[in-house]
Structure 1
Amino acid sequence: MGVELTAERRLLSEKEFEQVRRSHYPELEGLPPDETLTLARWLRGERDRARDIIASRRRGRRGKASGTGQQSADASERGLSAKKQVYARALKRVNGRLERFRAERRREIIQANLQDALKRRKDAEPQHPSPGRTPRKGMRPIPSGRRTVETDPREIGRVSQFVKDAQARRDS
């Protein structure tokens, strides 16, 4: 749920409201990136200052603060908390705008890199790799990587006869 501009005007001083008003839609879209960054830094500083004052008041109420914060320990931080929320919402809007600037810049860089790569690719000489094995006089067998074992034919006959004799002994 958003806070109306009139509520923001009531919470902030004239100078503060002028800065926060610049963080709303029509003015924010018209700001250049460097002014938007300056506005974000100012809003962040004000939000942090309000946060620190609230924290010191709470510490004072608990009795943990030093002697300097005692007079502000009794003061309510309700208005200051609302002010901090106004700054936080304004900072969120400005950060979103800054992120859009960054995304736009990233897109431009990526587009330029892609254009450079395409230009390099078009300017490069085409590569013509070797076609590899081609048929000349018909197909040739592909040599096998396995080791071939040459067996003496007499050895084959001897083993076969040995198996036959062993089987005959078992059967009898």
Structure 2
Amino acid sequence: MQWDELVEQPCSVARTLSVIGDRWTLLILRDCFMKVRRFDDFHARLGIGRPILADRLQKLVDNFVLTKMAYQTNPVRHEYRLTQKGLDLHPVIMSIVHWGDMHMAGKKGRPVLHRHTTCGHHFDPVLTCSVCSEALTAREVVVEPGPGAEPAVRAVAKSAKPRAAPAAKKAAQPVR
């Protein structure tokens, strides 16, 4: 499979990688979430070549992750702002940050902390179930074919031994 064919794959991971799957793009997105918006600021922070930076920014604009807005007219200069599609990448970036904090931070500790503005506390991102709000781990998730699955994926799923769903938690009984 060629890199430029990822967008055609019937896999959400592959399709996502076709947009954000290189190191410079991930670092650009990190900086976007840190309120960096201007080309020269990205260039100064990342030390990336100007043509590569321009290419990655344009790809994010073309894929509606960023929008390009003029902030100056003479000469025309633009800044890059996250769209809703871009903001929806926040959990992805936070998960990468958390993994880095846990496994790559070194003896000095985390390079940055994240504070929840509502409660005022520093936090670690936690993946939760959208239905029951319980925290999730990899061992508690089963992958099943969705409506867009290819026939080969459906065949593998049928041949796999199904795991029983855990019994629903009993509702707390009032104390009498």
| Rg larger for | 1
User: Structure 2-normalised TM-score?
Assistant: 0.24
User: Structure 1-normalised TM-score?
Assistant: 0.24
Richer in helix (by share): 1
